[in-house]
Amino acid sequence: MATTKHSNSPSSDRRVRRTRAALARALIELVEERELSRISVSDVAEHAGVSRTAFYDHYRDVHELAEAACTAMIDHLIQSLPGPGPGETHMAPEVTQSLQDFFASLAAHAGLYRSLLGPHGSAHVADHIRRRITAAIHDRQGEVPPGGELPEYAAALPDTPRDVSSAFTAGALLGVATDWLQRGCPRSPAEMAAMTWPLLSALYRLDATP
């Protein structure tokens, strides 16, 4: 958790957002040049144009900043994920475009995602992505998980029940994306979308009403 020390005034909030955005941008740029483990607090602070003290006002270390930057991007990225209804197996243009956008966004920040989703990466980030995908699938399908209505994304993360198909789909998509990143994104986002959708749609044929 970030260790921010600031007042709650609007001007202070704006400064906090600007500083965090600058630090995130700096890290994203640096991680494309070298491994995350080789990036220091001083490297990020200098690249962002802030002091080390300012860095520590917001984050304990580079890894915490990396997790925050990655999960923030994922929160925006998941909004583009497709969510077919039960039995919807055709390769709709909007669905494949959503998948293509998903892989393109991963590729645009491949260094950061590769570091956090690799063998020595962050279990917190991987779990966050799985839960976001699961919640997105529920939301797009209009499903109501067992036990009540689906909460908003922000409230859904820790305790939202998962049905088997949504959890399986989330794990499968994360696994495909992670493998693709670790192998250096050998196929284009368009190719990945075209190859992934038939696999994902097969899950929903099982749920189709005869």
pLDDT at residue 18, as a whole number: 94
pLDDT at residue 150, as a whole number: 39
Nearest to 36 by CA among 10, 2, 79, 70: 70
Q: Is residue 113 a contact partner of residue 167, using CB atoms and an 8 Å limit?
A: no
The percent of residues in the chain predicted with pLDDT above 90, rounded, is 43
Alpha helices in 82-163 (DSSP H): 93-108, 110-117, 123-141, 153-156
**What distance in Å separates the CA atoms of residue 64 and residue 186, rounded to the nearest whole number?**
29
pLDDT at residue 92, as a whole number: 59
Res. 206: pLDDT tops 90:
no
Enumerate residues 6+ apart whose C-beta is below 8 A from 102. Answer: 77, 80, 81, 177, 189, 193
Confidence of residue 152 (pLDDT cuts 50, 70, 90): very low
DSSP calls for 32-79: TTS-GGG--HHHHHHHHT--HHHHHTT-SSHHHHHHHHHHHHHHHHGG
Q: What is the mean pLDDT of residues 1-26?
A: 77
Res. 123: pLDDT tops 70:
yes
Domain 10-60 has CATH 1.10.10.60: yes
**What distance in Å separates the CA atoms of residue 175 and residue 96, rounded to the nearest whole number?**
18
Give the single-character DSSP code of 89.
-
pLDDT at residue 151, as a whole number: 39
Enumerate residues 6+ apart whose C-beta is below 8 A from 155. Answer: none
pLDDT at residue 93, as a whole number: 66
Q: Is residue 206 a contact partner of residue 113, using CB atoms and an 8 Å limit?
A: no
Res. 210: pLDDT tops 80:
no
pLDDT tens digits for range 91-113? 456 677 888 888 999 999 999 99
**Predicted TM-score (pTM) of this structure:** 0.72
> How many C-beta neighbours within 10 Å does residue 126 have?
16
User: Structure tokens of 148?
Assistant: 């009540």
pLDDT at residue 106, as a whole number: 92
Res. 52: pLDDT tops 50:
yes
Res. 43: pLDDT tops 90:
yes
pLDDT tens digits for range 65-85? 999 999 988 887 776 555 544
